[in-house]
Structure 1
Amino acid sequence: MRDELNQGLIDFLKASPTPFHATASLAQRLEAAGYQRLDERAPWHTEAGGRYYVTRNDSAIIAFQLGKRPPIEAGIRLVGAHTDSPCLRVKPQPELQRQDFFQLGVEVYGGALLAPWFDRDLSLAGRVTFRRDGKVESQLIDFQNPIAVIPNLAIHLNREANQGWAINPQNELPPILAQLAGAEKADFRALLANQLAQEHGLNADAVLDYELSFYDTQSAAVIGLSNDFIAGARLDNLLSCYAGLQALLAAPDAQSCVLVCNDHEEVGSSSACGADGPMLEQVLRRVLPEGDDFVRCIQHSLLVSADNAHAVHPNYADKHDENHGPKLNAGPVIKINSNQRYATNSESAGFFRHLCLENEVPVQSFVVRSDMACGSTIGPITASQLGVRTVDIGLPTFAMHSIRELAGSHDLEHLVKVLTAFYASPELP
């Protein structure tokens, strides 16, 4: 089971270099399991026992099963995650020609660790909007092959490199794509038009716009002397999306279950498809009872907000509170913050801990050091938007927001097991 889950995650990460591709990959897996796609612009006809999903902006997805038990009595079980990760996004007019090299100007998306982006084999993927036969269309593209690199400056020319230096994103991060000969002119939109033709057989009259991100082409892998770890890009937070999907597909038909994977968490969640937008509430209001009954359903419900946690690093153990240092391969982490950076309270934490104990899943706790700032998740945002009780949890990881992150190879199985139990739980607190 463990090996199968880890390989499934590796395959999912490879198919999901951007939030657009992650959403498409989730939708493909849902449809293969019998989930029916709903169009937000059309009327919906849903029924108890039905399984459905809806996407927005091609980058966020909500999948739900309407249980045979009335949700006004049993509530709904929600698992929340996000599809986006810190990365380098291509600017609108990105062409740079310096010293006969073709480079692209990039903007840093989210709180990325920048140093690991140097000297990596990079590819490019995302969504392209174009005109064809007088109509505006959009299509996902993925170059797949390594087409770019951001070379480091040699130590001989930067003697202070190992003492640390401030990376200037404007000057130092534009990737190199090619060497140009003579008066040759770089045309990025022509490159995209060619990719549309090669990848999809589409002959675009003009490339109008795009949302494209660079990514590392090195595949995720199970590593370590005893295969203790899984390393890969975008573990934050596609690991949680994948775990939530596996749990949802295993959910019995008695309960109403929801998996929501928002976009834009890494930049504040304020968008039409982010957790600070109306997407989840709008979807739920279309499938749950109206008025007072809707509020009653929500108050019978619980959200598990799943986003990775900081494992205690052996080289930097002093960055953790000494009593709250989660370890790799020791189970999911309940994340707690008195200032509501996490939405966990004693009741929601107690219920999640109970689920772990009942299903023989190890469980840990995380509280940030009192002299350090605390990150946040979609948990408090969704709780404030929807009024739903929430517990913030996640798997412990190293190198969060790096181009290559590290998790424990045993922990995915732990998370899937407890989320599956959550979706099947006959009663909520």
Structure 2
Amino acid sequence: MAVLGPLSRISRLGCNLCRNHRLVLNRSSQKRGISSGIDPSYGLTDEQKEFQKVAFDFAANEMAPHMAEWDQKEIFPVETMRKAAQLGFGGIYVRPEVGGSGLSRLDTSIIFEALSTGCVSTTAYISIHNMCAWMIDTFGNDEQRKKFCPDLCSMEKFASYCLTEPGSGSDAASLLTSAQRKGDHYILNGSKAFISGGGDTDVYVVMCRTGSKGPKGISCLVVEKGTPGLSFGKKEKKVGWNSQPTRAVIFEDCAVPVTCRLGNEGQGFNIAMKGLNGGRINIASCSLGAAHASVLLARDHLLVRKQFGETLANNQFLQFKLAEMATKLVASRLLVREAATALQENRADAVSLCSMAKLFVTDECFNICNQALQMHGGYGYLKDYAVQQFVRDIRVHQILEGTNEVMRMIISRNLLTES
């Protein structure tokens, strides 16, 4: 199948491509992508190739042309995401009986990688939304699943994941948001920080303390927008991820029905961590898409940019850099797909592999995008060129879903406790 690669404007180099922050997909470069060995469809089944192509085409036609505008104007592209949901991307690994696509973790990774070539920020939000829908589908009872999942899978309603607090980031088990039970309601008090979609979304999957200190005192509640006592902070100004709003989510004597609790009291931390295992694969997959697009952007820039009487493609140092970028991209993809398979099969090494994939891939893919920017020289620092947006959008991937320092802790702990 064809490999897509968004290209930004290079008019100053003699190519009048894509003015006014608009991205296009250079289809002549797709064929070269296949023969170069970075084709992301290698090793996939025919069915996987089909929905991968659907995702690539959606990225090319519905996301890439608007990526820069969404970033500059901080637009939350609701209608575009609902179009994605019509293709089954609103609940990719949610069960079909409540409106999901019922695909595997590997299938999900393939889709998110493809979509991210069109817009990392928007795809990353879609991945968080999918994680929330999966958590309700997996840990909710039949009534909860039927109430929430169909609207989430169609993206008639959008979801946010609420774990991080102003005083507890990496130390999630120390969260302070409290939920005191009074009759048939929990009364929530506290706040959550850095919540993707906060204020613009409809459903909030909230980790809160119903018991004593530590992870065993945490429960999970689903809070709907409009619930009295639920409010939001100001919209944060961010380096990247600008197509999704980020706000604090604030609870002040917010009464939530007990029927909106997922699982049992004290099960919330376990639910949160199981969600994050998949979230780490999802965010690594988004990094893959950015890196793939950036490799193609760098390659095409080297082929047209001339210095000292010849194109940069003839410079051996840059040839070697490009080779390293492509190699690290393929190695990263293989690790993500192995971790996705391990999680789907519930293997004993799944948690370690998810952490390894998140650590290695978000680090290496950021380096790939950053090197692609460097290859563009001064042009790479201009917002007329897509490569700078890929750099800005994936920088946060090394922080969220558990920082990469926490990933090192998880990996080493699992190694050191093996008998």
Report the TM-score when normalising by structure 2.
0.25
Relative to its length, the structure with more helix (as a share) is 2
Look at both structures and tell me which one has the larger radius of gyration over its CA atoms. Answer: 1
Relative to its length, the structure with more strand (as a share) is 1
Asked which structure has the greater RCO (Cα within 8 Å, sep 6+), the reply is: 1
Report the TM-score when normalising by structure 1.
0.24
